[in-house]
Structure 1
Amino acid sequence: MLASWTPPNDYRNRPVAILGAGVLGRRIGCIWASAGFDVRLRDPSPQQREDGIAYIKENVSIYAQKTGKKAGAVHAVESLEEAVSNCWLVIEAVPEKIQLKIDTFGELDTLAPADCILASNSSSYKSSEMLEKVSEVGKRRVLNMHYYMPPQNMVVELMTDGHTEEKIFSFMTDRCKEAATLPYVARKQSTGFIFNRLWAAVKRETLTILAEGVSAPEEIDSLWTEMFVKGGATPCRTMDDVGLDTVAFIESHYVEERGLSPEKTVDYLQARYINDGKLGTKSPLGGLYPPLPSEEKCLSKDRRLVVLDIGLSSATPSMKSGSIVEFSANGKFQHTLVENQSLPDGLAVDPQTGRLFWTNMGIPGKEDGSVLSYDPETKVVDTVVPTGTINTPKQLALDTTSNKLYFSDREGLCVYRCNIDGTELEKIVQAGNPQNSENAQDARNWCVGIAVAPELGKFYWTQKGPSKGGQGRIFCANISTPEGQLPSSRSDIECVQSGLPEPIDLEVDESNCWLYWTDRGEIPLGNSLNRVRLDKFGRCSVSQKPEVLARNFNETIGLKLDVENNSVYVTDLGGSIYRCDLTDESKSLLYADSSRAFTGIAFI
C-alpha cells in the first residue's frame, strides 16, 4: 500500500509510456524522447503505431534542440501490460470517450508500478471523472497533464484529480522543464483548465460581437494583433494598469445591462482588493500584482533594459529565431533591435558608446559559436569572433578598463578573452579537454557564467555541473595569468563556492564586495538569485554559506545589478523579467510572455 508517494529516484533509467499514438500522442512521445527518456508508444492500431514511430524518428532531433539531450529509444507496443512495465510515468492520450478512460485507468491502477505517475492528456474531462475503477490509494497518483500542440506550443497544464499527492506537482513541474515544456499548475479542479477557460471567454465574446454586427472578423483579429500580440498586453497586468476600481466600475455596467451575476467579478474585486486599497499600478499597495518599484528605486527614465530572447519558445522555434529586445525601465516592451540570431546567450553593453556585444551559442558541440556587436546609432551588426573558432559561448562580460571581452565556452570547457574588436583572442582557463569524451560529457567542466572585477584584479566563472545535480561550482583567478603557466594548469585558480544546484550567470559588486549569481537548479536553493560576501582580495571561503535573495523563478538565467537603486534585474527561460530589491529582498514581475525565453540582460 502506498503510504506516502515518493518521487522515483531512478526515473532517469525508467521509460515513459504514452497510451495512444494519434496526433497528440506521438507529439507527447516526441517530447519525452527528446529529453533523453526511453518511450513506449502503445496503440491497438498497427498503422497508428507505425505512423507514430515514424513521426518521432523524423522530428525528435528538432525537439531535442531545446533539451540539449541525446534522444531516448522509442518502441511501439500493442500490449498495455508491456507498455507500462517498469514505467515511472504513463500519459493517457486515448480517444475522448469517458468510459474508455475509466476502463484504462482501472487497468493502469493494477498494472503500473506503485510509484508510477498516471496522467491524462484529456482537456474535455477532469481526471476525477476517470476514477470509478481506481483504488483509493491509486487516486493519489492520478492527475491531468494536458498538452496543446507541440512543437508549435510547448505549454502543458497540470491539474489535480482532487486526491493527487501535492509532491507530484513539484516533481512533474521539474520533469516537464527537463523536457523543454512550460508547465502551469491549476490550483484546483476546473473544467477547461486555465488557458481553455481564457479562450472560452474570448471566443464567446468574439462571437457575440459578430452576432450583434459590431465588427467584422478581420477587424477583430487586427485589433487583437495590435493590442495583444505586438503590444504585449496581458490580462492581469492590463487590469492593474487600468485600475481595479475602474475595472469594477466598467464590469458593473455590463452586470446591469446584461443581467449578469457580480459575484465573481465586481464583488470579488471589491472584497479582495478594492476594500483594502489595492487598486493596481497607481496604488502603493499594488493590485493583482505586488506593488511596482517606487520611482526612487526605478531606473532613470533615459535608461532602458535590453534582453536576449533565445527564440526557442517562439511560435516557430529554430536555430535562427533568437533576438535582442528593448524594454522600458519598468518592463514595457519597446521594440526589437536585432533578429535572426543563433541561440543568443550572453550580453554586455559599453556604457560609453552604447555598443552591444553578445554571444551566439550555435549548435552545442559544434564550433559554430560567435560573438557579435551592434551599434545603436548605425544599426549595423558586426562580427567580433567569427564562427569556426569557438564552441558554445555563454555569458559575456566587458572590462571597460582594458576594453576586453570575457566569455565562457560551455562545450569548449574554457574561458576566453579578447579585445572588443575580436583581436588577441586568448584562452585563459581550460577546465578539461573537449576532445576527450569523458571530459566533454562531464558537466562539472562546463564553463557558463563569467564576471570580471578589475578593481579586485579577479575574474569569476561558473562550472555548472549536471542538471540540478548539486555539483555546481564558482571559481576565481587573477586577471593576469601567472607567467609561463597554461590555462589548464594555472596555479592561481581558487574555488569560491561548491555543491551548488546549477549556477549560471554571475556579476560582481566591487564597491560592496558581493558576488551575485543565478541558479537554475532544484529548489529550495535552485531557481534562485544568490550572493556571497567577498573579502578585500576578492576571495571567500568555499564553506561560506550563500545568501538566497529570491526564489521561484522559471529556469533563471540572466542578471544585471543596479547597485545605485539597490536592485538586480533577473530573467528566466519562462519568458519573465523581474526586479529584485536588495534591501528587503522583495521580487516584482516586470514582464511575462511564455512565448519568449530570456537569457542575457543589460542596461542601454
Structure 2
Amino acid sequence: MKPTWQPPRDYRNRPVAILGAGVLGRRVGCIWASAGYSVRLRDPSEQQRADAITYIEENVQSYSVKTGKTPGSFEAFKDMEEAVADAWLVIEAVPEKIELKTSTFAELETTAPEDCILASNSSSYKSSEMISKVSDQTKSRILNMHYYMPPQCMIVELMTDGYTASEIFPFMVERSQEAATLPYVARKESTGFIFNRLWAAVKREVLTIIADGVSVPEEIDDMWLEMFIKGETLPCRMMDKIGLDTVAFIENHYVHERGLSSEKTVDFLRTNYLDQGKLGNKCSQGGLYAPDDKSSTPMNGPREPEILVLDVGLSASTPSTTSGQILKLTADGNHYEAILKEQALPDGLAVDQACGRMFWTCMGVPGKPDGAVYSAKLDGSDIITLVAPGIVNTPKQLSLDHSAQKIYFCDREGCRVYRCSFDGSDLETLVDNIGHDLTSQESVSDWCVGVTVSPALGKFFWTQKGPPKGGKGRIFCANIMTPVRQSMGSRNDVQCVLSGLPEPIDLEIDEDTRTLYWTDRGEIPWGNSLNKTTLDEAGLVVPPVDTPRTYETITRGLNEAIGLKLDVPNSHIYLTDLGGSVYRCNLDGTHKQKIFSEDLRAFTGIALLRS
C-alpha cells in the first residue's frame, strides 16, 4: 500500500529556502517572509545576495499588510547546503537552463531534509523534465510552483511532475493563501501551465490581427478594455451565454478557412457537450458550467448576487436567545430558505467564495462572555467553531481580509477589536478600550460595533456607537500592522475619523474611490440612515468644500439600520434593519427599494453570493 504523504514536521518553525536571489527570487522570498516564515536566499553572487536582502528590508512591511503577520527573519547564503538545512520548502529560481535545474534537484535530494517539499519556479520547463537524477521517492515531493511578478500579481500556479503526492497540493494551496498569494492548481502537466497557455493564444491572435492589417494595437486594447475589463466578461461564461452550438459553428468556420485541427475545439465540444444536449445557458442541461450554475455573468455586466442575511431571532413568533437564523434570498427577494437555525443572536456575517465558506458571529447573552465566531460551507454544512464561547464577550459585526485570510470582528461589551485567521487560529486583540468597570455608563461610549478593513490603505476602521440615540458615536481607524513595541491598549496610531454621530453601526469601504459608507440607527433626522464620506491616503476625512458637515447622509427612512454590504460591480448597496427589511439602493443612495420584508424578522448582518 502506498504510504500516505504527511506535511513536513514542525514546518511553521522551519525556514523556506529560495535558490536564486534575482528579481523574482527575492520577491518570492519577500512573500514568505511577510507570512511570518524565516527565509533563506541562496545565490553564488555576493551582489545579488546583498540586493535581495535590501529589497526584502524595504518591502516586507508592505507585503505584510496583506498577510497581517509579523514578518519573519531573512538572510542570504552562498553555500547551498547551509541554506537548505532544516528547510520545509525549497523553491528553485535558478537560471532557465534545464541542465542546471536537473543538477540542482539532484543536489537537493542529498542536502535538503527528507520531508522537504521541493519546487521549481520555472515557467519554461515542466518539473518532470528536471527529475531524471532523483529517486522515485524524491519525485513524489517535487512540483512546479510558478510565480508571476509579485506584488503586482500574486498568482502562483502549482503543477505535478507526474509523481507528486496528491496530498501536497491542498497543503500548498493553504500555505500559499497564508502568504496572501492566489494559488491555482493545474489538473495535469501542461507546458505553459494555465495562464501562459491562455495568454499565448491571445498574444498569437493579436499579432495575427495586426500583421493582417485588420486593426491596430490601440483599437485592440480599447476593445479589450470595454469588453473584458469594464464589462467583466469571462471566457467560459461568455461561451455558455452565446451557446456552445454557436461557438462550435463559428470555430468550425475557422477550422476550414485556416486548415486547423478540429480535435480539441469542434470535435471536443460535439463529443462532450453538444451530443449530450449541453448547449449553455439556454438549456436545462447547462454547458461548460453545470445547470445549477447557469446564471452566468452577462456579456454586458455582472448579475445581481444572491443574498445571505442574519435574522437575530428577537422578533420571531416565539422569540428566544437561540432562535436566530441565516437566510438565503434570491436577488429579487421573492424566494428564501433558512440554511441555518437555532443561532444565539447572530449579528455579523461575511463570505469568502474562494474558500467556499461563510463566517458569522453570535452575540450570546449580552454582558456574558458567551459570544462566539463560526464558519460553515455556503450551504450551512460543516460548521466549525472558530472562537468558542467563553473567550470573548459580545462579538458583533465582522469583516474579511480575503488576501490575508483574516477575520476582523468587534466585541461590543468587551470594548475590543479582534483579528484571527480563517481557521480561528492566531486570535489577537487589536484595540482594547477596557480601562474601567464594564457595567458603568462610561463603558457604553467605548463599545466597538462595526468593523471593516482596507488593505489598500493599510488600515482597519471600526465604530463606537455611544449610548442609544446619544449623538456621541465615533468612527476610528488604526494600522493593520500594530506599531512595533506598542500594545493593543496604548497604540499611538489610533485616529478618530468622525465624531458626534447619532449611533453608527456597520461600515464598509470602496477602496477604488476611498469612500467610507456606514449605517446609523440613531435618532432622525441624521439617524436610521446610510451615510458616506471620502477619505484621503491616510484614511482620514477629506474636508468638504461647500458644506460644514464632514459626511453626507445619502439614504434615510430605515427602521433601526444595521447591516451594510457594497456591490460595487453593480453600483449597488444592500442594507438591513431590525424592522425585518432588506433594501437595495445605488452607490449614491438613490433608488432605494425594499426587496424583502417580514414582520417576524429582525435582520442584522448581510453578505452577497456572486455567480
CA separation of 1:59 and 1:412: change in aligned 2, threshold 3 A? closer
Aligned to 1:51: 51
1:208 counterpart = 2:208: yes
Separation in 1, partners of 2:118, 2:260? 39
Any residues of structure 2 matched to 1:111-260 within 5 Å, and which?
Answer: 111-260=111-260
Separation in 2, partners of 1:160, 1:87? 21
1:287 counterpart = 2:279: no
CA separation of 1:305 and 1:421: change in aligned 2, threshold 3 A? farther
Q: Shift in Å at residue 251 of structure 1?
A: 0.5
TM-score w.r.t. the length of structure 1 is 0.54
Q: Shift in Å at residue 189 of structure 1?
A: 0.2
User: Would the aligned equivalents of 1:281 and 1:292 in 2 still touch at CA under 8 Å?
Assistant: no
Separation in 2, partners of 1:103, 1:269? 43
Aligned to 2:573: none
CA separation of 1:227 and 1:570: change in aligned 2, threshold 3 A? farther
Q: Shift in Å at residue 5 of structure 1?
A: 2.5
Q: Shift in Å at residue 4 of structure 1?
A: 3.8
User: Would the aligned equivalents of 2:15 and 2:38 in 1 still touch at CA under 8 Å?
Assistant: yes
State how many pairs are aligned.
364
CA separation of 1:405 and 1:208: change in aligned 2, threshold 3 A? same
User: Would the aligned equivalents of 1:392 and 1:412 in 2 still touch at CA under 8 Å?
Assistant: no
1:476-499 CA distances to partner (integer Å, 9 max, x unpaired)? xxxxxxxxxxxxxxxxxxxxxxxx
User: Would the aligned equivalents of 1:147 and 1:157 in 2 still touch at CA under 8 Å?
Assistant: yes
CA separation of 1:287 and 1:176: change in aligned 2, threshold 3 A? same
User: Would the aligned equivalents of 2:251 and 2:265 in 1 still touch at CA under 8 Å?
Assistant: yes
Q: Shift in Å at residue 292 of structure 1?
A: 5.0
1:407 counterpart = 2:450: yes
Q: Shift in Å at residue 10 of structure 1?
A: 1.1
User: Would the aligned equivalents of 2:245 and 2:279 in 1 still touch at CA under 8 Å?
Assistant: yes
Separation in 2, partners of 1:104, 1:440? 46
- Amino acid across the alignment from 1:270: R
Aligned to 2:571: none
Aligned to 1:423: 471
1:68-104 CA distances to partner (integer Å, 9 max, x unpaired)? 0000000000110001100000000000000000000
Q: Aligned with 2:56: secondary structure?
A: helix
Aligned to 2:96: 96
Q: Shift in Å at residue 425 of structure 1?
A: 4.1
Q: Shift in Å at residue 267 of structure 1?
A: 0.8
User: Would the aligned equivalents of 2:305 and 2:609 in 1 still touch at CA under 8 Å?
Assistant: no
Any residues of structure 2 matched to 1:412-451 within 5 Å, and which?
Answer: 417=465, 423-425=471-473
Q: Aligned with 2:140: secondary structure?
A: helix
Q: Shift in Å at residue 570 of structure 1?
A: 9.6
Q: Greater Rg, structure 1 or structure 2?
A: 2
1:412-460 CA distances to partner (integer Å, 9 max, x unpaired)? 9999555899934499xxxxxx99x99969xxxxxxxxxxxxxxxxx9x
CA separation of 1:5 and 1:223: change in aligned 2, threshold 3 A? same
TM-score w.r.t. the length of structure 2 is 0.53
Q: Aligned with 1:101: secondary structure?
A: helix
- Amino acid across the alignment from 1:17: A
Q: Aligned with 2:167: secondary structure?
A: helix
CA separation of 1:230 and 1:293: change in aligned 2, threshold 3 A? same
1:268-289 CA distances to partner (integer Å, 9 max, x unpaired)? 1111111111111112221111
CA separation of 1:228 and 1:392: change in aligned 2, threshold 3 A? farther
CA separation of 1:122 and 1:150: change in aligned 2, threshold 3 A? same
User: Would the aligned equivalents of 1:391 and 1:412 in 2 still touch at CA under 8 Å?
Assistant: no
Any residues of structure 2 matched to 1:245-324 within 5 Å, and which?
Answer: 245-291=245-291, 304-305=304-305
Q: Shift in Å at residue 156 of structure 1?
A: 0.2
Aligned to 1:108: 108
Name stretches of at least 5 consecutive residues in structure 1 with no aligned partner: 296-302, 308-327, 331-344, 348-356, 371-389, 394-403, 428-433, 442-458, 460-560, 572-576, 580-589, 591-604
- Amino acid across the alignment from 1:117: I
User: Would the aligned equivalents of 1:63 and 1:151 in 2 still touch at CA under 8 Å?
Assistant: yes
- Amino acid across the alignment from 1:71: P
User: Would the aligned equivalents of 1:34 and 1:60 in 2 still touch at CA under 8 Å?
Assistant: yes
Overall identity of the aligned pairs, in %: 59
Q: Shift in Å at residue 247 of structure 1?
A: 0.3
Aligned to 1:24: 24
User: Would the aligned equivalents of 2:398 and 2:452 in 1 still touch at CA under 8 Å?
Assistant: no
CA separation of 1:276 and 1:56: change in aligned 2, threshold 3 A? same
Aligned to 2:61: 61
Name stretches of at least 5 consecutive residues in structure 2 with no aligned partner: 296-302, 308-329, 333-348, 352-396, 411-429, 434-446, 454-458, 476-481, 490-504, 506-594, 599-604
